[in-house]
Amino acid sequence: MSPFFKSRLHLASLVAAALLLSGCQTAGVQPRAAIDATASVDASPMLRQDAFKGIYEVTVAAGAGSVFVASINGFGKENAGFIQRLDARSLQLLQTIQVPHRSFALGVNRVTNTLYVGNTMEGSLSVVDGASGIVKGVIQLAVPVKDEKGEESMPHTRKVIIDEKHNRVFVTSPGQPGLIWIVDGATNTLTHTITSDGVWTAGAAYDEQANRLYVSQGGINEILVIDPDAGQVVNSFSTGDTTDATVAKNSKHFFINLAIDVKGQRLFSTDASTNQVYVIDIASGKTVKTVPIGIGALDVIYNAQRNEVITTNRGVSRSQPDGSGALTFIDGANYEVKRTLDLPVHPNSLALTPDGATLYVTVKAPHGEKHPAWRKDAADSVVRIDLR
């Protein structure tokens, strides 16, 4: 081969190498348009991410840089549970954590950075390291029970509430009767099992200053007051509307979820039977106000920084299965509805950042094909709402 052709080949090789190196150097550089789009998404005061299947509760992780969302991929006993960690601003998926059992409820101890996952159908808690996502173990709370026919079932877990000061976990069980479990977070052991005098013990809220746990339910006494140290019910509040609780269906109310205003010593409970928020004065145990919020009343949260109560209602009931739900924002000073935000199709669970500045909502797609908004393979959603 002549020197000329050798020179040409050598030059071509150098050019090709330079192009390859150039490609390697620029491949990792994000285009300006993509950077601007990401910044725009992060800065948006409201953001919706439709990318999930079978989601339930949401909670804010320690440090508030991410949120956890509980999900399942089926209701069978063989199904696992999943926790998605999302970026707190963009709602982009950062991590998927698989837990041994189906996951519905969430609670985070931000002091120990431990995530507790309510395995509803199995009556247990999965314990997850909040930093690494490593599953540290499972705490079995419920024991199988037999009904009058001799058929065996497992009491379900529902709400998971954290006591960061004393490193405890409170878990409700909406059975007949209801149950409340208290777990020592240091040893991951069950310390107390409390049997309720009512049914469907579902909601819970904890007053760290007074060291009192409040749970909400159906039956004669819609609210129970519990001393968690002793593991005993020390008081109860009743609307007085239910007089015969020998049969669960006689209950006039089902206080499905509960929130607390520690400073003002008030409880707020969503009543799934009347679709109202009940405002209860803790000192007297009396109902001071009821606020209608719409069909399918579900979750409630109190924002102390804004003196504001926020609720979800799913928008459907057995008699009205075609509706769509909303968020309701209630003024904590006068109990007037400040605004209602439609959030189709079925708003589910709520979570607030510790500073009260950002709200997260899980939204369920319709389950039944008869719903007008049902679509094949429709996704569930997570919504971020900036409140300032």
pLDDT digits (tens, 9 = 90+) for 126-135: 999 999 999 9
Over pLDDT 90: what percentage of the chain? 82
Q: pLDDT-based confidence at 36, cuts 50/70/90?
A: low
Counted residue by residue, the chain has a size of 388
- In the sheet that holds 55-60, the strands lie side by side as 55-60, 66-72, 81-87, 93-99
Question: Would you say residue 328 lies in a domain?
Answer: yes
Q: Which amino acid is at 8?
A: R
**pLDDT surpassing 50 at residue 18:** no
Question: Would you say residue 2 lies in a domain?
Answer: no
Q: What is the pLDDT of residue 16?
A: 40
Q: What is the pLDDT of residue 370?
A: 86
Lowest-confidence region among 4-18, 57-71, 126-140 = 4-18
**Can you tell me whether residue 246 is helix, strand or coil?**
coil
DSSP string, 215-242: EEEESS-SEEEEETTTTEEEEEE--S--
Task: Please compute the mean of the pLDDT values over residues 50-79 and round it to a whole number.
Answer: 95
Could you list the residue range(s) of the whole structural domain that residue 92 is in?
49-386
pLDDT digits (tens, 9 = 90+) for 156-210: 999 999 999 999 999 999 999 999 999 999 999 999 999 999 999 999 999 999 9
pTM value? 0.90
**Can you tell me whether residue 162 is helix, strand or coil?**
strand
Provide the 8-state DSSP code for 186. Answer: T
Q: What is the pLDDT of residue 245?
A: 80
**pLDDT surpassing 80 at residue 5:** no
d(CA 252, CA 240): 10
pLDDT digits (tens, 9 = 90+) for 268-297: 999 999 999 999 999 999 999 999 999 999
Q: What is the pLDDT of residue 13?
A: 45
Rg (CA), the chain: 25
Q: What is the total count of domains within the chain?
A: 1
Question: Would you say residue 55 lies in a domain?
Answer: yes
Question: Would you say residue 17 lies in a domain?
Answer: no
Lowest-confidence region among 4-8, 171-175, 176-180, 368-372 = 4-8
**pLDDT surpassing 80 at residue 312:** yes
Q: What is the pLDDT of residue 53?
A: 95
DSSP string, 38-82: HHHHHH-SEEEEEEESSEEEEEEPTTSSEEEEEEES-SSTT--EE
Q: pLDDT-based confidence at 97, cuts 50/70/90?
A: very high
Q: pLDDT-based confidence at 369, cuts 50/70/90?
A: confident
Question: Would you say residue 10 lies in a domain?
Answer: no
Question: Would you say residue 178 lies in a domain?
Answer: yes
Q: What is the pLDDT of residue 246?
A: 81
d(CA 368, CA 328): 25
Q: What is the pLDDT of residue 368?
A: 82
Q: What is the pLDDT of residue 334?
A: 99
Torsion on CA atoms 72, 76, 77, 82, rounded to nearest 10: -10
- Mean pLDDT over each residue of the chain, to the nearest integer: 92
Question: Would you say residue 29 lies in a domain?
Answer: no
Provide the 8-state DSSP code for 342. Answer: E
Query: Which parts of the chain fold into alpha helices (H)?
Result: 3-27, 32-43
CATH of residue 202: 2.130.10.10
Task: Please compute the mean of the pLDDT values over residues 296-300 and round it to a whole number.
Answer: 99
Question: Would you say residue 247 lies in a domain?
Answer: yes
